[in-house]
Amino acid sequence: MKIGIDARFYSSAFTGIGRYSYELIKNLTVLDTENNYVVFLNNPQFDEFICPNERWKKILADTPHYSLREQTHFKKVITKENVDLMHFTHFNAPIFYRGKSVVTIHDLTLTLYPGAKMRSPLRRFAYHQTISSIARRSKKIIAVSNKTKEDIVHFLKVNPNKIDVIYEASNETFRVLPQEYIEQNLPNIKAKYGITTPYLLYTGVWRDHKNLINLLRAFSILKNNHEFSGQLVITGKEDPHYPEVKQTAELFSLADHVKFTGLVPEEDLIALVNGATAYVMPSFYEGFGLPILEAFACGTPVACSRSSCLPEIAGEGNALFFDPHCPMEIAEALKKITTDEELRTTLRTRGLNRAQEFSWQKTAEQTLAVYREAVRY
């Protein structure tokens, strides 16, 4: 087969679709010794990507995401390569492309939680048309969790037999760091971000479905009851579309207790995950919940929502769950995980074991099987 992969999000630097594309391609280069691949990239990733052997070819796509050029120019670029199968690693595929394709749908967040950036009726219409079109036209759909599969069936009206669930995994860089490294480096890293006490950690964007408002309300309850003397560390780029995050922290007088770090380099992030008293994921909705596995792999106890796919990915008994709609219940969970050392030890052990059940090699193997099935249609 000649297989095309839309790798315009390709990046080793972050989680999400960029990491997914990076890890999938990395593992396919080792696993598949038969098929030929064409990787479509934007700059600067096009210049950085080195084809591993003669069966791999890279093409400059030069098309921004969610743009008109994506629908016109990108279609021409793909069509010119005449691939047997095209893998769109995200739903934003050219609507009029008619070659055989597979699509990975990571979540239906924009359907359920469109957020501030999707208030325009035109944007919502374009999103719905694009995702519905590729779901209908693709020979196979890869969903990253059973919950995402259920959502695709329900909202996009897709036959469940067309959908394969293939889990993601944490990157190997997320691991338990040597105690010597932690002792030598964590104090400086904490000082860099103004962290002066034990801390709870959240990583990610600030959008509605991430539920940062209720997390801040819960943390305020924790502080007012004098049940945790540490800080809450919130990473991620500040988003001007969601000013209510910082406004809520100010409303509850949490300026000295909540640290907004901005984007954190991966090396610092891994150290911060290792050093956290617990990792917190309060989301209303996730397609997979990769940060849970990253925390597990670092030996960090996790408290997370009892919603969406998170119980599926975390697994029963491996994390402390709470109702994301109830700040009081979130606060109770945070109190428990910060004060019960025996619980943290148990969750640490179970989390490490759970993380081992997921691997990018397995992801690539199952994806290659989907490719083989899709070309037979």
Q: Which CATH number fits domain 2-169+359-374: 3.40.50.2000, 3.30.499.10, 3.30.1330.20, 3.50.50.60?
A: 3.40.50.2000
Mean pLDDT, rounded, for 296-323:
98
Q: What is the pLDDT of residue 228?
A: 92
Q: What is the pLDDT of residue 14?
A: 61
Q: What is the pLDDT of residue 13?
A: 67
Q: What is the pLDDT of residue 377?
A: 79
Q: What is the pLDDT of residue 176?
A: 98
CA distances from 123 to 69, 126, 149, 195 (A): 15, 5, 24, 39
pLDDT single digits (tens) 136-169: 999 999 999 999 999 999 999 999 999 999 999 9
Residue 116 confidence class, pLDDT cut points 50, 70, 90: confident
Residue 325 near residue 285 (C-beta atoms within 8 A): no
Q: What is the pLDDT of residue 298?
A: 98
Q: What is the DSSP string of 225-239?
A: TT---SEEEEES---
CA 321, 323, 329: angle at the middle one, nearest 5?
90
Q: Which CATH number fits domain 179-355: 1.10.10.60, 3.90.1300.10, 3.30.200.20, 3.40.50.2000?
A: 3.40.50.2000
Mean pLDDT, rounded, for 265-288:
97
The rounded mean pLDDT for the chain is: 95
Mean pLDDT, rounded, for 1-22:
88
Q: Do domains 2-169+359-374 and 179-355 have the same CATH topology?
A: yes
Burial class of 232 by CB neighbour count within 10 A (0 to 12, 13 to 18, 19+): buried
Beta bridge partners of 235: 262
Residue 11 confidence class, pLDDT cut points 50, 70, 90: confident
Q: What is the pLDDT of residue 16?
A: 82
Range in 24-28, 44-48, 116-120, 278-282 the model is least confident about:
116-120
Residue 15 confidence class, pLDDT cut points 50, 70, 90: low
Q: What is the pLDDT of residue 91?
A: 96
Q: Where are the domains of the chain?
A: 2-169+359-374, 179-355
Q: What is the pLDDT of residue 118?
A: 83
Look at residue 149 and give its three-state secondary structure: helix
pTM metric for this prediction: 0.95
Backbone torsions φ then ψ of 356, nearest 5 degrees? -70, -15
pLDDT single digits (tens) 249-260: 999 999 899 999
